[in-house]
Amino acid sequence: RIYVDVVFNHMAAGEGEVVGTGGSLVYPEERLYPHVPYGPEDFNPPCIIKDYQDVKQVRNCGLVSLPDLNQKSENVRRSVIEFLDRLIDYGVAGFRADACKHMWPEDVEFLFGNTKDLNKEFGFPKNARPFLYQEVIDLGQEPISKNEYTSIGVVTEFLFSAEIGNTFRNKKLKDLMQWGSDKRFLRSDRALVFVENHDNERGHGAGGKDILTYKDGKLYLLAVLFTISHPYGIPRIMSSYEFSNSDQGPPASANGDIKSPVMNSRGICTNGWICQHRWPGVVGMVQFRNAVAGRGILNWMDNGEQQIAFCRGDLGFVAFNGYTMANLNSTVKVCLPPGIYCDVITGDVTDAGCTGQEVLVNKSGYANIFIPGDSPTGVLAIHWGSVYLLD
């Protein structure tokens, strides 16, 4: 499914005549965007946000130099809804709405509440509504609250990103026992959660130096796999490309054409692309999450330090070894029927057996779990769908 990133808070800035990527000509200083069309009457009076404690300024003034659209304008509302409806006709499943903090909640609700239902020609059920997640950066330090937007749709939980980075960098894995219960977090079904996004992985936006990125290697992967395995929130996985400075664009040829990813023999992206969503461990953990959906955490275990494990109800079991030198080697209750299970992080289930690590669950529901300190992921996960042979 495709979820389109849409921006309706503002339009592009620039001096004089500016040529868009599609060839349209716009005149930002005059607030003229003929191809929409937008004119000066569709924008808020010129001003720049200087005080994020001033709610009206944040929502009615320009974000840096970007001309600030007035979402109460009938022309703006009609143009936005027509655009969203056209995307729905194309078969998209929903939208990421950028910069929602800079728009009044009632305007956001109007725009997305008046679209068409999803297109049944693409397999969506009758009366299905587009999935909406709204970008609202709120770490609890400003008067505009992410909770103002939860009745409209899902909201980006940037505090999750900051806190999970802080925990994996500076604390112990055992400290994750109560993860998701922080009262500062959004309620689970309204929270879009992520280890990093396209802004804060580059030092922009919320989170600061604690944000984990692909450059942090195994520590980053541990955090991503924990995020997917845990029942709190709606996870979003970053799919990135290499960068050496915060303003660097995607891999491109000398004439500016974006390069396509090239897959190696293991299905991993090269050619400057990271493609975290294709990492085998991530793919396996997504399968795990789908298999244990609706089940909470049972039988939490830890060694008081950097090794943890838990069941997801009676449908799955996952273990994490945060050490880089010491092994995790323990016999624990895995909450699954007796049999041979395949670890979905290191391989798959086939007719011939497991392509990765096997886990033997005895008649008492216990199994010996082994994760070496030099494991590239530090994680093992089994679930009811990864059973090779039931006892």
Catalytic site positions: 98, 135
- Identify the three-state secondary structure at position 181: coil
By the 8 A CB rule, do 168 and 219 touch? yes
- Identify the three-state secondary structure at position 158: helix
Neighbour count for residue 351 (Cβ, 10 Å): 5
Report residue 136 as tokens. Answer: 């609202």
d(CA 370, CA 331) in angstroms, rounded, equals 9
Query: Over the range 256-284, which residues count as b (16 or more CB within 10 Å of their CB) and which as e?
Result: eeeeebeeeeeeebeeebbbbebbbbbbb
Q: Give the containing element (helix H, strand E) for 18.
A: strand 18-19
Type of residue found at 221 = L
Alpha helices in 64-150 (DSSP H): 74-90, 105-113
d(CA 317, CA 295) in angstroms, rounded, equals 11
- What number of CA atoms fall less than 13 Å from residue 327's CA on the CB side? 7
Helix 280-291 × helix 218-229 angle, to 10°: 20
- What number of CA atoms fall less than 13 Å from residue 231's CA on the CB side? 18
Specify which residues 342 forms β-bridges with. 358
Distances (CA, A) of 317 to 128, 280, 346, 380: 33, 18, 15, 8
Report residue 94 as tokens. Answer: 């929903």
Query: What is the distance of C-alpha 83 from the center of its chain?
Result: 24
DSSP-derived secondary structure letter, 190 = G
